[in-house]
Structure 1
């Protein structure tokens, strides 16, 4: 490990500790710890949101998938910006902020719970987040650790532990302020690193036109196994309705693109700003950030095939030893000068730490505030309990990072996004926009979305069902339905619309009480007439 790398790591870690300490000193109340005091400015909020959204799962995991799936994955960039930024901030964000303020909600489960006057929703949602998020957190940890392992030859086990300790420090003590302050710093590093990488790969391959033409001409080299399932090349979309198409469209593009709206760790960001003006200002910063980081990851992942073929006669997946999660790290270490490899290492560390810190914070608050705190029925939030919850979340993620198989980064992310979309999106939309939604309807929507998602993961979706082996043990077949397209349809595509149906139908069959109707009217009136709270 040379002196330049040691210096960069020292400066980086020192900055993280310093920012975390500043946040710790400014964290006094539960509102500070859970929603950053509701006074975050637009720049910090936008970068925190973006850096939380874009993790090593996006850069290493989905960048690697771009290397095996091709440029069709760029549609995910469109959804990330259109849904994850513009729709989220302008349509969902403003109502979430004002309604969250009216309800005095400090977490996403509490927001839903108070909106529908149901403690059960808070308990169930908190438990679901705590149980489902570890696979996502572990996936992000793995992505960062694999790059460190490849770049500086540090043992994978040591990388996982060191990352967990550093992140744990400022999350446990600084709360959401610590998370958001460090996110803003890490987001700035990510933006600069990814922008340099985007320019570099086109320069390296002779320009935009030359790079894309070279990739198009490589279509005959696309793996035969992928062609057999519908792939047509790196610059063309797969055959519609084929297994390859269903995996790309339903699991990768729709699963992650739509699922972003209902991410608890992202939704709570809207409750950290003091006015709609801050959200409006954040749209431009967030949109540019998401575009540069995701577009770069997917372009680099795809075009790495050209680089590897020109330098070694292999395509990307071959050069990476068959591990999708190693495509981006292998490309960086093979093609870029040492100084940029170190800069990109900090970029990936920033991407990982910004996302994981939020995941740990949300998991800790879910189990400590929403489940334990709710059961204790205490009006006073104990920060020590929340910190213990975060510590438990960290330990679980570290254990899973050792147990999960290779090629898991993108898949683990898709699973969590899909479960959140099915469980929370119907109820979240109805909470903000449909007064008629009842407590019973909301409960039906959350439970049905969760159970249908889990059923599909275990019994119908080939990728997970075959790995788990439960369906095969019970029925003799890896999936219940073998005819096309069912083994390749992502669980979210099935669970999300059904959860909407359950939410709406049960709401129409039940009624809010007079007191609940009056409270809901006041809630929506406040939402419509208060405007910005400056």
Structure 2
């Protein structure tokens, strides 16, 4: 216990020093929101990866792998190909160039200025400000559960303590402080995950033996999961069953595609000064992401075999029925004592790197995009308003972390990723590549994608619709399709992610309305493409 406390104190000393350096170099709005557009490419790459991967990925989705097994490795494939390669090459270069042409400081401002619309900037900023606290809460819950299990700190006190620490350097230091600390934290995370993977396979006699052991445990899959379609931890789920839909539409498709429209990631493309610096990040990300999500998913699945071999129960039972505790429990009960301190450090890094970016983007969305340039147009107030916005985002995240139920980390993350994809992705992609998309089409697509995603979530998707109870109150049914014949395609819609429906609708609206409405001024388009 003492060693963990000493390591934690040393870690926070470095974090606060880097935050102080960021504060020293933050003198104007572009410093606070874009790190002065001259960030070192290595720092940018490390910050992107550390922001991308958080405790929601390692603890939340790692815990989900304890239920669903190796199927979640398809999300790692999607993370590398979509979240790194496509994000950097297809979106990153044009985002940086267009952002420079239009002097954009935030992701919503990029969309707003591309379509010459304060409504688009304000509306997208409002979506981010209102809903990113839900995603941030998932990350905060992850590290707080780790502190609860590792240091026996009461969960509520862990929430408050982590919130206070992050508030100090995010509110004052802006994006420079965030990115400096991200780079340091990303290095810690890589070392920790390599050790975790090696030790787990060693505990089961090597790769082949470990996988065979897990395969042979298929009969131990909980009855409820078997009824939902699970065949085993290495075998996956039966095609077309409710759990197959959860794994492949919500987790793999929803999160895998949604990463392209994450505002806290997209803004990092605008912090470097050249395309060459973006290219360097592709190689790093291709190594970093598999070491993070790939290791977490493998260990989460194999924890069932390790727990059982040591005379315990399968992972979900060992963690008391809460999947968010599977990875923390595994670390405390299986790994050597010296590693528990290192892992706690890695979780601090994973949580703080992502939370700081979430708080920052939530605050700048309110200050810059809603108040100064979007819906209220109070010009000249962005720096102060952004700091106030960060503070409000932090407090909202703390509230969500208190009220959200157990086993929520992966679901809350998937919700925000899917909502961003349906609302922003068509407008973002077409805005970068197609001069024919119109202002009216962009507005209709964004509002339509957001509305479609929320309506499906409130009235069709079983987890949220039944939990919130709005559909029950209005119609007398948990969902609009719950009364359909069990096993029919209509009944199965309850497990289809909102993004599967809302994203195509959003794309169709963007293209269809563009073909029927007045194109944008040629002078404006020339300004947008001045650097191409």
Instruction: Please classify the TM superposition score into its range, dividing by the shorter chain length.
Output: over 0.9
In the alignment, is the contact (CA less than 8 A) between 1:30 and 1:381 conserved in 2?
A: no
Q: Which residue of 1 aligns with 2:487?
A: none
Q: Which residue of 2 aligns with 1:532?
A: none
SS of residue in 2 equivalent to 1:232? strand
Q: In terms of mean alpha carbon deviation, does 223-232 or 370-379 score higher?
A: 370-379
Q: Which residue of 2 aligns with 1:229?
A: 228
Report matched runs for 1:340-355 at 5 Å: 340-355=339-354
Q: Which residue of 2 aligns with 1:479?
A: 479
- Which residue, out of 511, 518, 523, partners 2:528? 523
Aligned-partner Cα distance in 1 for 2:465–2:172: 39
Q: Which residue of 1 aligns with 2:155?
A: 156
Say if 2:53 is the partner of 1:54. yes
Say if 2:267 is the partner of 1:268. yes
Aligned-partner Cα distance in 2 for 1:377–1:450: 23
Aligned-partner Cα distance in 2 for 1:91–1:380: 33
**Residues 247 and 382 of structure 1, relative CA distance in 2, 3 Å threshold:** closer
Structure 2: gaps of 5 or more residues: 483-489
Shift of 1:527: 3.5
Q: Which residue of 1 aligns with 2:95?
A: 96
Shift of 1:521: 3.0
Aligned-partner Cα distance in 1 for 2:500–2:49: 25
Aligned-partner Cα distance in 2 for 1:478–1:378: 43
TM-score by length of 1: 0.97
Q: Which residue of 2 aligns with 1:71?
A: 70
Report matched runs for 1:235-274 at 5 Å: 235-274=234-273
Aligned-partner Cα distance in 1 for 2:496–2:320: 28
SS of residue in 2 equivalent to 1:367? helix
Aligned-partner Cα distance in 2 for 1:401–1:376: 30
Aligned-partner Cα distance in 2 for 1:122–1:523: 16
Report matched runs for 1:33-432 at 5 Å: 33-374=32-373, 375=375, 377-432=377-432
Q: Cα deviation per residue 1:190-248 (whole Å; 9 max; x = unaligned)?
A: 11111111111011111000000000000011111111121111001311111111000
TM-score by length of 2: 0.97
Q: Which residue of 2 aligns with 1:497?
A: 504
Q: Cα deviation per residue 1:335-364 (whole Å; 9 max; x = unaligned)?
A: 111110010001011100000000000010
Q: Cα deviation per residue 1:4-63 (whole Å; 9 max; x = unaligned)?
A: 222211111111110000000001111111011111122111110111110100000000
Shift of 1:381: 4.6
Between the two proteins, the alignment pairs up a number of residues equal to: 524
**Residues 252 and 376 of structure 1, relative CA distance in 2, 3 Å threshold:** closer
Q: Cα deviation per residue 1:406-433 (whole Å; 9 max; x = unaligned)?
A: 0110110000000000000010011101
Aligned-partner Cα distance in 2 for 1:521–1:389: 34
Aligned-residue CA RMSD (Å):
1.0
Aligned-partner Cα distance in 1 for 2:94–2:268: 12
Aligned-partner Cα distance in 1 for 2:308–2:19: 44
- Which residue, out of 514, 523, 527, partners 1:507? 514
In the alignment, is the contact (CA less than 8 A) between 2:459 and 2:479 conserved in 1?
A: yes
Q: In terms of mean alpha carbon deviation, does 472-481 or 259-268 score higher?
A: 472-481
SS of residue in 2 equivalent to 1:511? coil
Q: Which residue of 1 aligns with 2:486?
A: none
Q: Cα deviation per residue 1:262-319 (whole Å; 9 max; x = unaligned)?
A: 0011000100010001001111112211110111100000000001111134110000
In the alignment, is the contact (CA less than 8 A) between 1:141 and 1:352 conserved in 2?
A: yes
SS of residue in 1 equivalent to 2:406? coil
